[in-house]
Amino acid sequence: MDKIKSNYLRDLFKVDKELIIIFLLVVITGFIFFFVVNQLAFLNFFYLPVVLAAYFFGKRYATSAALFSILLVSVLAYTYPTTFVNSMGSDLYRSLDLLTWGSFLLLTSYAMGHLYENKEAAAREVNKTYLGVIEMLSLVIDSVDTQTQSHSYRVSIIAGQIAQKMGLPPNEVENIRIASLLHDLGKIGVSCEILSKIGKLSANDLQHIKGHTQHAVHVLEPLGGKVNALLPIILNHHEKFDGSGYNAQTGEKIPLGARIVAVADVYDALISDRPYRKGLSPFQAKKEILDNTGNHFDPDVVKAFDSIFPKLDVETFLYPRRMNI
């Protein structure tokens, strides 16, 4: 219920950017016209929506806000000659004051918008580098275990679709997809002999395997920044809903991203060939997931997985292409 309410509120506030700006400008114009005596001085209030438009939306919106402000004030000054009168009381001085104000407003909108676009360009470049490093690490991870080539990529696809189906915000979906790409990073510290072992694993082998989630966190933690949001997902993706996982976390104490990756990870593992068994068919694997709802897996996550199951692109899993996060 809380999740539905959260999604409703998020959709409710997805208002058109232009409408927000126009609303602010009209409110400011009305306030100056009806409630302010020294109207010329209060024209500086128009800088507020212009600066906000530049900061949040960019140069085009900021410039549009400035031009619309100038148009509003010009129409008001022309229609009501007694507005925006300065101490000199001259129409010429009033026109010069309005022209000076409008010029500075337009200049400010352009400059602030330009700074915003430079900032966004730098952020995109950093994000491109970040995703490039993630992609490289993902390829390294899959190369460690030759029996599970492209496993991380496929898990990221499934987990991303589940997260979208559950209505999570885009930034959370992205974090879950990226965490999926790195969820097996800790296997780099596990020997190939253990990973490719055909027979039953010893207790010591199991301890090595179980340590791969913590090892991944130790590797990634020093990076800080955006990576910090991925760590709880990676650390807990082997937790089970009933508490029988690696660290005995239960229910909703397990991060939602980790619960989503757990379903995607197990499903892809079930349909993949391993040294000790042939992979199951997609429908057999789906049945395994459904049969373990409530003990191994979060029922809400399984419900979302069941919904997206018919849309899973088998060819994507068999012939993975370059990642497009």
Backbone angles phi, psi at 297, to 5 degrees: -125, 150
Residue 176 resides in a domain: yes
Domain limits at 40?
Answer: 16-121
Examine the domain organization and report whether 25 and 72 are in the same domain: yes
Whether pLDDT at 159 is above 90: yes
Give mean pLDDT, residues 219-225: 74
**Does 8 fall in a domain?**
no
- Tell whether 82 is covered by a domain: yes
Q: Are residues 102 and 181 in the same domain?
A: no
Q: How confident is the model at residue 94 (pLDDT cuts 50, 70, 90)?
A: confident
**Contact assessment for residue 165 and residue 308, using Cβ atoms and an 8 Å cutoff:** yes
Q: Is the same domain home to 113 and 230?
A: no
Asked if residue 9 belongs to a domain, the reply is no
Could you tell me which of 90, 154, 166 has the C-alpha nearest to residue 313? 154
Domain count, the chain: 2
Domain co-membership, 116 together with 152: no
Instruction: Report pLDDT for 82.
Output: 78
Q: Tell me if 57 is assigned to some domain.
A: yes
- d(C-alpha 59, C-alpha 125), whole Å: 19
Residue 309 lies in a domain: yes
* Interval 280-298: pLDDT, tens: 888 999 999 999 999 999 9
Q: Is residue 126 part of a domain?
A: no
**CB 98: neighbour CB atoms within 10 A?**
19
Q: Phi/psi class of residue 245: alpha, beta or left (left: φ > 0; alpha: ψ in -120 to 50)?
A: beta
Angstrom distances, CA of residue 169 to CA of 6, 146, 163, 175, 258? 10, 34, 9, 10, 16
Do 82 and 224 lie in a common domain? no
What pLDDT, on a 0 to 100 scale, did the predictor assign at position 37?
61
Q: Are residues 69 and 155 in the same domain?
A: no
SS3 state at 58: coil
Tens-digit pLDDT profile for residues 53-65: 888 888 888 888 8
Residues 67 and 175 reside in one and the same domain: no
Together in a domain, 69 and 161: no
Q: Give the pLDDT confidence score for residue 93 in this predicted structure.
A: 80
pLDDT band at 27 (very low <50, low <70, confident <90, very high): confident
Residue 14 has a pLDDT of 46
pLDDT band with cut points at 50, 70 and 90 for residue 319: very low
Same domain, 168 and 61: no
Give the separation between CA 294 and CA 94, rounded to whole angstroms: 73
Inside any domain, residue 273: yes
CATH number for 259: 1.10.3210.10
Q: Show which of 89, 121, 153 is a domain's final residue.
A: 121
Give me 20's structure tokens. 């927000």
Using CB atoms within 10 Å of the CB of residue 243, give its burial: 0 to 12 exposed, 13 to 18 middle, 19+ buried.
middle
Q: Identify whether residues 188 and 300 lie together within a single domain.
A: yes
Same domain for 201 and 287, yes or no, is yes
Q: Is there a single domain that holds both residue 239 and residue 307?
A: yes
Paired tokens of 161: 């679709």
pLDDT, residue 9, reads 46
pTM (global) more than 0.75? no
| Distance from C-alpha of 62 to C-alpha of 110, rounded to nearest angstrom | 7
